[in-house]
Structure 1
Amino acid sequence: MRWQWKLGKFFGIDVYVHATFLLLIVWVGYSHWLANQNWGEVLSGILFILALFACVILHEYGHALTARKFGVKTRDITIYPIGGVARLERMPEKPIEELWVALMGPAVNVVIAVILFV
C-alpha cells in the first residue's frame, strides 16, 4: 500500500488517498495563485476540490454499503485525482444485485444535488 495514506476507517471500510492526489491540490492552488495572487482564492480553490472529493467518497460509499447489503465486503476505498475506487472483494452473484450496487453510487450524487440545490 505504498503511495497512499490512510484517511481513516468509516463504517468498517478503510479510506485512502493516493499520493498523486496531492498533485491535484498543488495544481489547483498554483492555478488560483497565478490567476489572482490572493491566498484567499488559493484556499477557496483547494477547499472546493476537497469538498468535491468528499462527494466522491460518499459516492463510493454508496457502492460499498450496497454491496455489503448483498454480502460482498469492500476491501477499501481509494481517492485518486481522477476519482475514487471502492475495491469490492467480488461482484454480487445475481445480476439485479450487481445493478443495485452500480446504481447506488450515482443515487448518492442525486441526493447530494437535491440537498445542495433545494
Structure 2
Amino acid sequence: MISVTEWQKIGAGVTGFGIFFILFGTLLYFDSVLLAFGNRHKLKGTSFFLGGVVIVLLRWPLLGMFLEIYGFFSLFKGFFPVAFSFLGNVYNIPFLSESNNSWLPQLFRRLQGTSSMV
C-alpha cells in the first residue's frame, strides 16, 4: 500500500478545491442570465485586454502588454476617481493624512476628478 503523508493529503485537498472552483466559475461564466448582468458596455476594454493576452502568447510581449494596459485602464476608468477620492480622504493613515501637510492628498484630490460611478 502507498503511504500518503499529511502534506500530500493537504495538497490533494487544496487541488480538489481549486479544480472545483475553476469548473464552478466556468459554469457561472457562461450562464446567460449572469452574462446579461455583465459588463457588455465595456466590450472594448475587455477585447483589448484579452487581445493583449493572446498577443503575448503569440510571442509579441511588448505590444501585448501595451494592449493589456490600455484594456485595463479602459475597463476600470470609472473606478479610479472613487479610489483616488478614498485615498485623498483617509485621515487615519499618517503618511496620507492632512495633518502632515503632505503633497499626496492634494495629488489624489486632483486625480479624483468630478466623475462618479453612479
TM-score by length of 1: 0.27
Structure showing greater Rg? 2
Structure with the higher helix share, 1 or 2: 2
TM-score by length of 2: 0.27
Structure with the higher strand share, 1 or 2: 1
